[in-house]
Structure formats: C-alpha cells, structure tokens
Amino acid sequence: MTLKFMARLRSSRVVVQDQLEVPDQAAVDGGGEGEDCCWAKLPPELLREVLLRIEDSETHWPQRKTVVACAGVCSSWRLIVKEIVKFPEISGKLTFPISVKQPGPKDGLLQCFIKRNRSTHTYCLYLSLTNALTDDGKFLLAARKHTRPTHNDYIISLRAEDMSRGSSSYVGKLRSNYLGNRYTILAGQSAHTGSKMAKNHSPRLPNLKHASSKIHLVNYSMAHISYELEVLGSRGPRRMQCIMGTIPTALILPEEPAQARSEFSGRNTDIFQSNPIAHSEPASMGNFLSGSLCGQKNGALVLINKAPRWNEQLHCWCLNFHGRVTVASVKNFQLVASPENRKIVLQFGKVGKDLFTMDYQYPISAFQAFAICLSSFDTKVACE
C-alpha cells in the first residue's frame, strides 16, 4: 500500500456514494466540516497509524499531486497529511526532495546508510526504514567522484542515473584541494538570467514562442572541512573540523536565542536560498583550499571530531557508536560542537566492505552530512 494507492480512495469513495439512491453531495465534492464521507468516518487514530506506516515504507519520493490528493479526501485526512509533511526538524520525516537540504530532527539521530561502488566511483545515500543494517532503504542522494589534475570533485544529485552538473537534479558538489586535506561544500542554486523577448510594440502579451528563458546553475559555499596534517609522520586517528557557514553557533547552544532560531528556520524554507553567513566569494574558497583559515568562522558553527580513546585490550582507538558501526576503520568519526558538548551531530562508520552508516540530526541537513562523509572516503597520505 502506497500514498498513491491511498489517493485513489478519493475516486473509489465517489463510486461507493453513487450506489446509493441519493448521493451525498458533500462527500462527492470533498466535504466540509460536517462530512458524511465513508472514509471520513475512519477513526483518526487508525488513519494516522496507516498513513505513518505508509510514509515509513516508501522507498521513493512521493509525487506532490499524490499527497495533495490524499489531503483532499476530507478534512480529517487533510489534518493528518499536514502532520506528516512538516519540516524534518519537527516531524523527523524526509517526505520531499526539498527535505535533504533542511535541518534534521531535534529529538535524535536520523539513521541513514551509504553504499559505495568502487568500479563506477559512485556513492548512494539511503534513509534507513528499519533498525536493520541490511534493509533496502529509501534513496535520497547520489554522488560521483571526478578526478582532476589539481583537485577532486564529488557531484551530488537527486538521481543516481543523472549526475551531471547541468541537470535539474543537481544538488551541489564537494571539492578538495590537491593534498586532500581541505574540502568545500558547494550548494547549487538556480538563477534566471532573464528572458529575451522578441520586439513587440503591441500592449498585448508577446507570443510565447518568441520568448526563451535561459536558466543556469551557480554554486555558493555552505561549509568548509579541514583535516589536520601529520607533519612529523606520527600515525593515529584523523582530526577534522567542519566550519558550517550556513549555521550560526547560537543554534547548538543549550539556550537558543529566538531571533537566531527564527532566522535559521526562515533561511531553510528554500533549498537554494543563500544567506549572509553562507555566501562567500570564489576567492575565499581558493584561499581555504590553499590553506588560509583567517576569517573563515565569522560566527558560524564549528564541528570537531570526537576524540577516540585508546583501548589497551584491543590495542586500537575506539568510539562508542551504540551498535551502528561494526568494522574498525580510519574513516569512522563522530562530530560534536565542542569537546564538552556530548551531543553527536553526525556519526559515520563502516559496517561492510562497501557499506557505511551515516546518522545525523539538527542543525545540519542530509546534504551537508552526506558531503562531510564523502570527504572521509578520500585517501589522505599526509593526514594519517
């Protein structure tokens, strides 16, 4: 049973009503507050449970027209659907593609996993539908690595079969420097350069055939990732920090100022909307990738990896992933806002040869978390 199937109940409801001698006009038209629709009589608790289970079992993004059709059955259905499609920060659900660039839930980590394909240099992100590490999951994002002479690019897309930068499914990219110890997360933003209209002196609207709209994508910097170099050749766990340019530091503090919280929520209603903290000139990105850290924070949230502890019995560095990571790897990490803050914002670890878990929560998004994890896949000769 899917949301698409549930949407068909609206048409089947009309058929049921047509079998009566006198059809209920309120039921046929969608009804009002006093609906006598047969589906409106379904207990709200049962309806909520059914729709939530359908949403949890969806392995693909639902079409908006399907969700609207479900909400149009009657007022009780409309209220339940509105509960489901709220922001991930509130509902903990990823319903539409826009959700991948909105902050994660506040009440706990959202469990995801990444599958790596070594032959094609591609990585696919899935939302876990169950607690099992082997479930199929709901596809969220895909990335492909492109090796350049002076840097590497990871193109991130909403579709695994179309990962070109000029595609409508393009979300953003991750770019590294030559050494692979500094990365910049770039988000794609569509921009209209305007329409060229044919000359027409008539006050009427011009013929649409003579109008051509040129649309192109521009990138703006969202975050910077840096790995500490091991200049003396000492081997050990990686040390990294992430400067989240789109997220103010106040959002991760125990008491969040109301103004900062409202501004952050407003900025994230549009996945392609830039903001004063996030926006940086191309020169700034070049300075960061070449090694300059001056002026990069500017009040933005800085995440650092949680320091592992040495286990004498196992003779290795250990972190507590609460069962979500089963294979030791230098790629495994947990990110926190400060050494004193125990709240884990993002954790990433290996569970199989080409299978990794990725769990994240507020205030970062699935796109930002995925890009940070992609940086861990690169070989870093000078950092380990």
Give, for all 384 residues of the chain, the pLDDT tens digit: 455 555 555 544 433 333 333 334 443 344 444 455 666 677 777 877 777 777 666 677 776 667 777 777 778 778 877 776 778 888 888 888 889 999 999 989 999 999 999 999 999 999 998 877 767 889 999 999 999 888 899 999 999 998 888 788 899 999 999 888 899 999 987 654 443 434 444 444 444 444 444 446 678 899 999 998 765 555 667 889 999 988 888 777 654 444 444 444 444 444 333 333 333 444 445 555 555 444 446 788 999 999 888 888 877 888 899 889 999 888 999 999 887 778 899 999 999 999 999 999 999 999 999 999 999 998 765 555
CA-to-CA separations, 44 to 64, 150, 193, 231, in angstroms, rounded: 23, 59, 48, 63
Q: What's residue 353's pLDDT? A: 92
Is residue 384 packed enough to be buried (19+ CB in 10 Å), middle (13-18) or exposed (0-12)?
middle
For the chain, report the end-to-end CA distance as a whole number of angstroms: 49
Element (H, E) at 366: helix 366-377
- Residue 379 C-alpha from the chain's centroid: 25
Q: Closest Cα to residue 217, out of 157, 272, 159, 153? A: 272
DSSP assigned state of 66: H
At 327, the amino acid letter reads V
- Coil, helix or strand for 41? coil
Q: Give the CATH number of domain 88-189+221-230+237-246+296-383; options: 3.20.90.10, 1.10.3720.10, 3.30.420.40, 3.40.718.10.
A: 3.20.90.10
C-beta atoms surrounding 316 within 10 Å: 11
Q: Where are the domains of the chain?
A: 40-85, 88-189+221-230+237-246+296-383
What residue type is 248 in one-letter code?
P
User: CA 227, CA 379: separation in Å to the nearest integer?
Assistant: 12
Going from the C-alpha of 211 to that of each of 63, 194, 214, 215, 327, the distances in angstroms are 29, 10, 10, 13, 57
| DSSP string for 326-379 | -B--TT-EEEESSTT----SEEEEESSSSEEEEEE-TTSBHHHHHHHHHHHHS-
- Interaxial angle between packed helices 44-57 and 75-84, expressed in degrees from 0 to 180 and rounded to the nearest 10: 40
pLDDT per position as a tens digit, 104-119: 999 899 999 999 999 9
Rg, the chain, Cα only: 24
- Give CA–CA dist 98/61, Å, rounded: 10
Distances (CA, A) of 130 to 136, 137, 383: 9, 8, 35
